[in-house]
Amino acid sequence: MENIKSFITEINSGDTVDITEFQNTLEHTITKELTFNDVYSKLIASKQDTIKVKEIVLESEVDFISSAKYLKTVFETQLKEAIDKVNDLYNRELLSLQSYYRNKLAGEGLMNLIKVLNENDYSIVIMNSRIYAYRYYKPEHQVCEGHFQSGTIYDYHERVCNLKGVYVNLLHPKITNGSVMISTDDRHPNANGSGLSEVCVGNLDGRLIPLENTEALVDLLNEICETYEVMHLDSAYFIPEGEYTVKEVKIKWTA
């Protein structure tokens, strides 16, 4: 109101003054929000031919609902990642503690045996209340040769069977019937049947299974596997049919 009074005073005085600054101040002063009816009534009552209208354009609008949903999604994702990370660390520590406990429970001897067997391509398999040293053949070994004690070898033109695995029962102090099993597709001539089956141990019968000497044990396991990679036809359940080539191998006798 003081500005308006000053303006009237200036007019009445008849002096010529620069009123630009005053107009800017006046525009700022009278700016307010009006309803449509208020604006319309003022326009009707106005004695001026022109009016000045300021338009405010809202260039962007914040969608608070979408923003809140997005922030919630981000929070849930980050929370899940944090939980997964904590769970992973927990599971690793738990596995470490369990491994330590099992090592003490089972004993260092068994753990060392497992380590040595693993280094030589054998595994420990517990099956039917028995503990086996197991070799898995990948690819499967094709059994094609049949041996006789005389030194004669039948080299079959087609495989007789595929050897998939060899099992040796480590609970037996010595090799006897049932100590060795093999896994094949078709029947091995030295096996009781096809699939997983016990085999005739032949000259291996009575051999000690030295658990206390891992080096000697690995040597014995290798010898057992090599035994069933061929067929021993002198003590076979059957002689395979099929074409073969005969080979003769000289046997060295020692006194």
Dump pLDDT digits (tens) for 68-96: 777 778 878 888 888 888 888 888 887 77
Domain that holds residue 222: 116-248
Model pLDDT, residue 252: 47
Q: Quick check: 51 pLDDT over 80?
A: no
Residue 126 falls inside a structural domain: yes
Clarify whether residues 221 and 126 are in a common domain. Answer: yes
Q: Would residue 7 count as lying in a domain?
A: yes
Q: What is the pLDDT of residue 241?
A: 92
Give every CB contact of residue 120 below 8 A, 6+ residues apart in sequence: 218, 221, 222
Residue 121 sits in the same domain as residue 231: yes
Token representation of residue 76: 């849930």
- The string over 3-34, giving b where at least 16 C-beta atoms fall within 10 Å of a residue's C-beta and e elsewhere, is eeeeeeeeeeeeeeeeeeeeeeeeeeeeeeee
Residue 159 within any structural domain of the chain? yes
- Percent of the chain topping pLDDT 70: 71
Determine, yes or no, domain membership for 15: yes
User: Do 26 and 136 reside in the same domain of the chain?
Assistant: no
Total structural domains within the chain: 2
Indicate if 34 and 147 belong to the same structural domain: no
- When comparing pLDDT for 249 and 237, which is higher? 237
Average pLDDT, the chain: 81
> Within this chain, do residues 234 and 128 fall inside the same structural domain, yes or no?
yes
Residue 2's pLDDT band, with cuts at 50, 70 and 90, is low
Domain membership flag for residue 51: no
Can you tell me the mean pLDDT for 160-173?
95
**Is beta strand 123-127 parallel, antiparallel or unpaired with respect to 180-184?**
unpaired
Between 197 and 76, residue with greater pLDDT: 197
Average pLDDT over residues 138-162: 95
Q: Residue 55: its pLDDT value, please?
A: 62
Residue 135 lies in a domain: yes
Q: Are residues 38 and 159 in the same domain?
A: no
